[in-house]
Amino acid sequence: MVSTIQNTDVKQKDADRAVVVAVTSRAVFDCGAEDGDDVYGVGVAFPLLQALQRVNERLLEENPAESLLFDVVLITTDSQQQQQSSRIISNTRHYGLEISRFCFSSEEDFIESLLTNHVDLFLSTDRSEAAQASHKGVFSALLNRKVASSEQLRVLFCGDAVIRPDTDSPSASQDAAQSFSAQLGEMRQRFGLLHSPLSIVLVTSRGGRESCGTALRTLRSRGVSVDEAYCLAGAPRSPFLSLLRPHFLLNNDLED
């Protein structure tokens, strides 16, 4: 069973234009670390939500009529947290998080909650959960566990996935990935080269400059211009990611 509660404290986004991002509540809040009787500690996804909010604020500063905005949905599948739904909602208010809808579902029905809310990107810290959503046609990615800055949204494209799409993924998931990429690229075009609240980074792990160039051309064909591009040529990716600190990685294998 899926239950969705609309946040009346937040102006709802244009359903035809908004980019719907769903995040699990356990990634946003650390329910085991409380600062007071009713206040949760913050989780790994907290800076991400602040960064998404910052992009929206800047887009509206540029154009008050802008409709291409991030629309955040908080997904809760934990049965204990579902019993504390009012507490989760009050914590988003406490922290000033702009969340449009709260969706409560069982672990068995969480895919339905994503489809019902027309989610463009599902983010989780659970690899199997993200893979399950991707298999059902919902574009998914893993959150970076190393907390990134909340001042700028940093999105990392893995060039190897751009060049060689996952043939095991359903066509619906591949289409959703390209659609999200195009929306992200359109958002980035709203800002200048300097002081953008959104930064798109490309990293190719395998191959040389030719592979990197192919990935760049592929992204440009989808309307995505990158701010930074790196060719690792077989070097380990993890140490590099610890320096880049993206909020999430867009790749096929859903690795950390």
Is 7's pLDDT higher than 80? yes
**C-alpha to C-alpha distance for 211 and 205, rounded to whole angstroms:** 9
Task: Using alpha carbons, select from 165, 241, 229, 242 the residue that is nearest to residue 203.
Answer: 229
pLDDT tens, residue by residue, 51-108: 999 999 999 999 999 999 999 999 988 666 556 678 888 899 999 999 999 998 887 8
φ, ψ dihedrals at 185, nearest 5°: -65, -40
Is 255's pLDDT higher than 50? no
* 84 in any annotated domain: yes
Please name the residues in contact with 239: beta carbons below 8 A apart, sequence gap of 6 or more.
none
197 vs 36 pLDDT, higher one: 197
163 vs 41 pLDDT, higher one: 41
pLDDT tens, residue by residue, 188-221: 999 988 889 999 999 888 777 888 888 899 899 9
CB 185 within 8 A of CB 224: yes
* 168 in any annotated domain: yes
* 236 in any annotated domain: yes
What is the torsion angle, in degrees rounded to the nearest 10, for the CA atoms of residue 145, residue 202, residue 137 and residue 146? 0
Encoding tokens for residue 49? 């939500």
198: domain CATH number is: 3.40.50
**pTM higher than 0.75 for the full model?**
yes
Quickly count: other Cβ atoms within 10 Å of residue 83's Cβ.
10
* 192 in any annotated domain: yes
Please name the residues in contact with 4: beta carbons below 8 A apart, sequence gap of 6 or more.
101, 102, 103, 104, 113, 116, 117
* 256 in any annotated domain: no
φ, ψ dihedrals at 118, nearest 5°: 50, 50
Is 117's pLDDT higher than 80? yes
* 228 in any annotated domain: yes
* 255 in any annotated domain: no
Q: How many structural domains is the chain composed of?
A: 1
Residue 46's domain spans which residues? 2-250
